Structure 1
Amino acid sequence: MLYVANLTIIDADLNAQFRPAHLEYLDKLFKENKVVMAGPFADKKGGMVIYRADSAEEAKALAEADPVVVEGARTLELREWNALQFPLS
């Protein structure tokens, strides 16, 4: 199952401080096949991570362990995502 994390920056200084740890964390999870893709929004107000997890509980644990969430630099909104497979027919 796929889960989308919307990570909105609420403290720019904390975000700058913990962004390297955030990127290292996501890279580690990508190598473990737990992150599908991630990146910042063009408006620089936050970013998105797409997690691959076996359950909502696992996805929540992965997302809540992100250093920018742990340290209070960003809020977390996590939702299960039913991605479409193309072609639709």
Structure 2
Amino acid sequence: MLYVALLPIVDQELNAKIRPAHLEYINDLYKQDKVFMAGPFTDKQGGMVIYKAASLEEARKLAEGDPVVVEGARTLELREWNPLELPLT
């Protein structure tokens, strides 16, 4: 399953400091096939990560392990996502 993590920034200064560790964390999970896609929003107020996980619990563990969440630079909203298979017909 896919799980979307919305990560709004709540502390810009702390986020800038932790961002390299965040990017390394996401990249490592991508190499393990646990991240489908990730990136910042164009308004620079946060970003999104789409995790690949067997359960919500696994996805939550991955998302809560992100250094920007651990250190409190960003909040986390995690939701299961069921993408449409396009085209529909």
Q: Which residue of 1 aligns with 2:37?
A: 37
Q: Which residue of 1 aligns with 2:79?
A: 79
Please tell me the residue identity of whatever aligns with 1:45. Answer: Q
Number of aligned residue pairs: give it: 89
TM-score (norm 2): 0.98
Structure 1 distance, partners of 2:85, 2:59, is 21
Q: Secondary structure at the match of 1:80?
A: strand
Structure 2 distance, partners of 1:27, 1:19, is 12
Compute the displacement of 1:87 (Å).
1.9
Please tell me the residue identity of whatever aligns with 1:21. Answer: A
The answer to which structure has the higher strand fraction is 1
Q: Which residue of 2 aligns with 1:46?
A: 46
Q: Which residue of 1 aligns with 2:24?
A: 24
Structure 2 distance, partners of 1:64, 1:85, is 29
Compute the displacement of 1:88 (Å).
1.5
TM-score (norm 1): 0.98
**Structure 1 alignment gaps of length 5 or more:** none
**Can you list the C-alpha shifts for 1:56-80, whole angstroms capped at 9, x where unaligned?**
0000000000000000000000000
Percent identity, aligned pairs only, is 71
**Structure 2 alignment gaps of length 5 or more:** none
Misfit runs of 4+, over 6 Å: none
Compute the displacement of 1:52 (Å).
0.4
